[in-house]
Each structure stands twice: as C-alpha cells, then as structure tokens.
Chains A and B, each alone.
Chain A
Amino acid sequence: MRCALSRPDIVLAIDTSAAHCAAALLFGTHEPGRKETLRIVSRSEDMAKGQAERLPGLVDAVLRDGQVNLADITLLAVGVGPGNFTGIRIAVAYMRGLALGLGVPAKGVTTFEAVAMHSGAKPFPYWVVMDAPRAEIYAQRFPQGKACILTSSVQESLDAPVLHRNELGPDALVRAIAEHAYHTPTDARSRPAPFYLRAADAAPSSDPPPVILS
C-alpha cells in the first residue's frame, strides 16, 4: 500500500514516556529506486508533570512548524514505553483519539525500537537498556531478543555492546519513533498499547473469608 501512494507520507509522532513532552513530523517520499531523504521536524519540552495539558498544544506547534494540518497526517506513531505508566497512557490515549477522529492508522513504537532505530547501521548484536525503578533495568537484545527486566548489576556482563536509552534526548527519541513507524509495515487494525513490561502493583486480598458452618 505504501509504495503506491501518490503523495508523501506524513507521520506525526509523540512521546511522553519520561519527564518530557515531545512531538515530531516526518515527511516521507517513497520514491522507488531512490535513496530517500526524510525531512523531520520536532519539538520537545522537559516537564516532570503537566504533559496531559501540554501535549495537544505541542502537537499544534509542530504542525505549524511543518506547515501542515492534522487532516494531512497519514500515519500516527506513539512512544509506548517502557517508561512512566501515566505518561505512556497519556500519549497512547491521545493518539487513539486522534486515530479514531482522523481515520488513519496509529502505531506503537517501544523505547527499545526507537533507540535501535536511532543507532542506524550499528552491527548486531547489541543490547538496548534503560534505567528502571528498584535497582533494575529494562533491556532488549537486538536483533531478536525479547524485552525483559534485569537487575542493574548484570549490565556490566551482557554478551554484546550496550546502547543506553539516555543517549537520546526527547527530540532524538520522538524522531526515531516517527522513523521506525515509517519504515515498518502498518497493520490498520492494530492499535497502540502501552508497553508496561511490569505487572500492575497489586496484591491479592489476604483476608480469608470466614468458615461457613453447616
């Protein structure tokens, strides 16, 4: 489908998975047989809270930078984490609303995929890692490993070079999210979902019910 497009793809990407609010626009050309030069514009702001109130305005600003309207967007991309649970829900919910309203597909991109995208032609294998709470790290081995939680100390003894998520600022992260979405096949039916990696913190009820005497 993508190759047949007569007009360029315009990807809107957002990320609020950490203490920032970030948005990017990617202009693709899809000209067969030619090496593509992608134009990407982006904006980001550092913020510990308030992403939910700021995100729509930041998206407007990046649309103005790119001189397009929401109606021109052909693909939506959202950073799904891992990261701050509330942050990734903010971005995912906003994107699902945009996708439904615009009638265009939305794609979730994990932080690992974005970091790998950003690293470009770095030879496999390598690990992408990021800090996690409780002296742990989130990690994924590329090209084919599954994302997992490891204790921080094993980071020293991983079996391949390590890319750390902190090497990317918010702009680089959201640009990589846009690029990753642009370069991977789109399933119009799939919807972006938060990538938590950690189960919800909840303990089953501990009080046993009373014995019922007959």
Chain B
Amino acid sequence: MTQALTFLGLESSCDDTAAAVVRHLPGTAPEILSSVVIGQTDLHAAFGGVVPEIAARAHAEKLDHAVEAALANSGLGLRDLDGIAVTAGPGLIGGVLSGVMLAKGLSAATGLPLVGVNHLAGHALTPRLTDSLPFPYLMLLVSGGHCQFLVAKAADHFVRLGGTIDDAPGEAFDKTAKLLGLAQPGGPAVEREAALGDAKRFAFPRPLLNQPGCDMSFSGLKTALLRARDALIAEKGGITIQDRRDLCAGFQAAVTDVLVEKTRRAINLYRDLAPNDPALAVAGGVAANQAIRGRLTALCAASGLHFVAPPLALCTDNAAMIAWAGIERFRAGHQNDFTLVARPRWPLDATAQPMIGSGKKGAKA
C-alpha cells in the first residue's frame, strides 16, 4: 500500500485521555498533525495512585472533547481521515472500554475503518514514528505500569526477552516519593532529590541480578526503602532533607543498575539476530529519567548500538503513538469490526511465558 494514510488515534488506558491525528505517506517521515493529552493527575492526587473508577469516569466524559480538539488542531475534519485507531488494551478496563466504544460509535457514524491497537505496541512502534527506525530493533519499555524488553520485528510481531515479574519501576518511583513525602508523579521529584544525594549511603538490593536472563523485580526495592526510612524515623523521629536526598539517590542507583545490567543482557540476545543497524529504543515515563538515560546512552555507545529516545511527550502515554500503530497495523492488513473487545490483559508477545498475573485470567502484559 503506497497511498498516504491519515488516522485518528484514541488512548484512554490509564490516567491520560488522549487523541491525535497522524499522517503518513510511504517514503516520507510520518507527520503528527495534532496530539492532545488531557491528564488526570489532580483527580487522583488525594489517593496516592490512580483510582480506576475515577479514571473511567473522567475518560467517558473527556474523550470526545479530546477528539474534537485533535481534529481542530490538525485542521482536518472526520471526512479527511482514513481510519480510527483505538487502544483496546491492556490497561484499566473502564477507560479502555470508554475509548473502544467511542471509537466504535465514530466508526459506525462515519464508515471509517476501525483498528484496535495494543497500548504496548503503540509504545513499541513509537521509534518508527519519530525516527523511522527499521526493524528489528530492541525496545526497553519502562513506565509506571510496564517494564519489558521487546525485539520489534514487524508492526505485528514482537518478541519479549524479559520483563518485571512484579512492579514496574515507575510505580516504585511513585511509591518512593509517597513514602518520603514528595509530590506525585514521583519520578521527577525523586530524580531531583537524588541529584543532591549520596547514592552509597544506603545499601539497597539489586533484585534478580544474580539470576540469568532479562527478568526484573522491583517490589523488594520498595520494601527496602520503607525499612531504611523507618529505621531513620525510629532513631530520630523523622528524616532530614539530606536523609531524603540520600534515600532517593540510593533508590535511583539501584533501579538504574538493574535496568542497565538487564539491558546489557538483552542487547546480547538481540545481537544474535544480527541486525544490520542495531538500535536500542526506549519508551515510557521512566525513560525520561536523566540518570537512567545517561547510563543507557553510554551502554549503547560501548556496544555499538544507536540509542533512540523519543521526545518525552511521545515517551509517556499519548494518542499519536496509537494513531501511528493503527496506520502500521492497517497497512499490514489488520482491521476490526464492531465486536472489537476491550481487554484489561493483552500480552504483546502471546508466545512468551506469562510473567505477571498469570492466573486464570491470563498474563497481564
């Protein structure tokens, strides 16, 4: 298919309500004509985390506004589109359902093709949207909800090399911020404090580094941080500003060490594919952390890989990546009818061993 395609994308799988319009003419770089993200941080602030019912309520009443804004910003109308792409999972099901139903309504009303997109595929295909990266490339997806290594072989073919067996690093950053009385979202707050702290003062564990493979674990790190904090409180009734900086620095160093070592192993596995032009791409909010990004950049330089980090606005949740993934899937011949199912769990690589929540409902991611 060589014709230009213009897709609307919808994203509502966590706490961002997003819509975007992306156009692509084969042989040229894709163009993001608009990208609107309506955040919900304020709605969830009092609860120390994203509350699914609150998120679902907000998505249901904001999505159509986001679509209108995205169309207005793009200067296009619905009739100028070639298709509608929507996140159909994995994620908080109330929000995913709202997005899928809005997309079904729009598609029914306009006759435009509907394409259901895996949220993780959206992240994993972003390096092609921003940098036209050729397959196969290695992807580290590291956010508040996800952490995994993928080899992207095609728009509909991803191989998972490993991932977290419990929490995602972003979640651990948020929890750390909360335990230390820092603002949410915790990533930027912890990073700022860490820059002023002594990473060697507290000895935090590097979980699973002694195990082969690319799997990771971050829940024990949260517990270790809580214990270190409580020991300080027991000793003197609270923590000082410097204690907090040192705790943040120690925590961030542990996360970084784990990510970098596991990335090194993932690079070795990826190299077995003998890619012509090897590259590591990152996505997810944690990829915005400068300490982590710096170490990964150095690792890539030492290993002879390109390091591709999309701009922050395209690393965190957005709908441009969904529109783009929709274009790629549509070109690969995928399209959905109105029975498209919203899925809370949807592993990108269905053949890999389930890692999280592999109970009767199946693997989460």
CA distance A200 to B94 in the complex (A): 12
Which chain A positions have C-beta within 8 A of B104?
Answer: 55-56, 94, 97
Pair B181/A97 contact, Cβ less than 8 Å: no
Interface residues of A in 193-209 (CB under 8 A from B): 193-194, 196, 200-205, 207, 209
Taking a contact as CB atoms closer than 8 A, the residue among B53, B241, B341 that contacts A53 in the complex is: B341
Question: Quick check: A101 and B78 within 8 Å, CB to CB?
Answer: yes
Cβ-based interface call for B75 (8 A):
no
Query: Which positions 305-351 of chain B face chain A at CB distance < 8 Å?
Result: 338-342
- Check if B97 is an interface residue, CB within 8 A of chain A: yes
How far apart are the CA atoms of A94 and B103 in the complex, in Å? Answer: 8
Given the known interface contacts A93-B105, A101-B78, A212-B238, the answer about A207 and B97 at a Cβ–Cβ threshold of 8 Å is no
Give the dominant DSSP class at B's interface. Answer: helix
A101 touches B105 (CB 8 A): yes
Q: How large is the interface on B (under 10, 10 to 19, 20 to 34, 35 or more residues)?
A: 35 or more
Q: Is A95 an interface residue (CB 8 A)?
A: yes
* Interface flag for B159 (CB, 8 Å): no
Q: How many A-B Cβ pairs are below 8 Å?
A: 146
Sorting the interface of chain A by its residue count into under 10, 10 to 19, 20 to 34 or 35 or more gives 35 or more
Instruction: Name the residue in A86, A100, A193, A194 with the highest tally of chain B Cβ atoms < 10 Å from its Cβ.
Output: A100
Indicate if A20 sits at the interface (CB-CB under 8 A).
Answer: no
Within the assembled complex, what's the spacing in Å between the Cα atoms of A205 and B46?
A: 7
* Chain B nearest Cβ from A212, distance in angstroms: 6
**Across the interface, do B94 and A211 meet the contact criterion of CB distance under 8 Å?**
no
Q: A residues 49-107 with Cβ under 8 Å of B?
A: 52-57, 59, 70, 85-86, 89-102
Determine whether the beta carbon of B101 is less than 8 Å from that of A90: yes
Chain A, Cβ-Cβ closest to B236: A213
* A2 part of interface (Cβ distance < 8 Å): no
Q: Find chain B residues with CB under 8 A from A211 CB.
A: 233, 237-239
| B64–A100 touching, CB < 8 Å | yes
Given the known interface contacts A93-B97, A101-B78, A101-B108, the answer about A194 and B60 at a Cβ–Cβ threshold of 8 Å is yes
Contact across chains for B47 and A96 when beta carbons are under 8 A apart: no
* A93, A202, A212 pick with most chain B CB within 10 angstroms: A93
Quick check: is A191 within 8 A (CB to CB) of the other chain?
yes
Asked if A96 meets B105 with Cβ closer than 8 Å, knowing A194-B57, A202-B53, A212-B241, the reply is yes
A204 pairs with B47, CB closer than 8 A: yes
- Nearest CB of B to A195, in Å: 11
B64 touches A191 (CB 8 A): yes
Residue of A98, A193, A202, A210 near B105 (CB, 8 A) is A98
The answer to whether A210 and B239 touch (CB under 8 A), given A56-B338, A202-B47, is yes
Kindly identify, within residues 235 to 280 of chain B, every residue whose CB is under 8 Å from any CB belonging to chain A. Answer: 236-241, 244
What are 7 contact pairs spanning A and B, CB under 8 A?
Answer: A70-B109, A98-B109, A100-B78, A101-B109, A200-B53, A200-B54, A202-B53
User: B-side interface residues toward A, CB under 8 Å?
Assistant: 46-49, 51, 53-54, 56-57, 60-61, 63-64, 67-68, 78, 93-94, 97-110, 178-181, 229, 233, 236-241, 244, 338-342
State the A residues within 8 Å of B (CB): 52-57, 59, 70, 85-86, 89-102, 191, 193-194, 196, 200-205, 207, 209-214
Closest CB pairs A-B (n = 3): A97-B105, A101-B109, A209-B181
